[in-house]
Amino acid sequence: MEEFKTIHEPLLVAHHHEVPNSSPKFEQSYQIQSISQAKRVRTRRVWIVATTVTAVVLFSTAILSLFWLPKTISNAANVFQDDQEVLDCGKSPSEAREKGCRIEPMIYGWVPSACFYPSLSADFDALSDRQWYADYNMTQLLTREQMWEAEIVHVYTHYYHAEHCLFLWRKLAWAVENRLPYVDNKTLDLHHTNHCSDMVSHGREMPDGVNDVVLGFYGCKKLQWAVN
pLDDT in tens, 16-54: 333 344 455 545 554 555 555 555 545 555 445 455 545
Question: How does the average pLDDT of the chain come out, rounded?
Answer: 74
> Is residue 4 within a helix (H) or strand (E), and if so which, with residue range?
strand 4-8
Residue 98 pLDDT: 97
DSSP state of 225: G
- In this structure, the number of other CB atoms found within 10 A of the CB of residue 54 comes to 15
pLDDT for 143-197, tens place per residue? 999 999 999 999 999 989 889 999 999 999 999 898 999 999 999 988 888 888 8
Residue 100 is which amino acid? G
What digits encode the pLDDT tens for the residues 101-110? Answer: 999 999 999 9
Q: Which amino acid is at 77?
A: A
Give the per-residue pLDDT at 77: 40
Q: What pLDDT was estimated at residue 4?
A: 55
- Evaluated on CA atoms 165, 167, 173, 179, the torsion sign reads negative
Q: Which amino acid is it at 53?
A: V
Look at residue 203 in the predicted model and tell me its pLDDT. 72
pLDDT of 80: 46
**SS percent in the chain: helix, strand, coil, step 5:** 45, 15, 40
Task: Report the number of distinct structural domains present in the chain.
Answer: 1
More confident residue, 20 or 111: 111
In contact, 89 and 96? CB cutoff 8 Å: yes
| Interatomic CA distance for residues 100 and 102, integer angstroms | 7
| Cα–Cα distance measured from residue 63 to residue 45, given in angstroms and rounded to the nearest whole number | 27
Range of the domain at 129: 4-226
Residue 138 predicted with pLDDT over 90:
yes
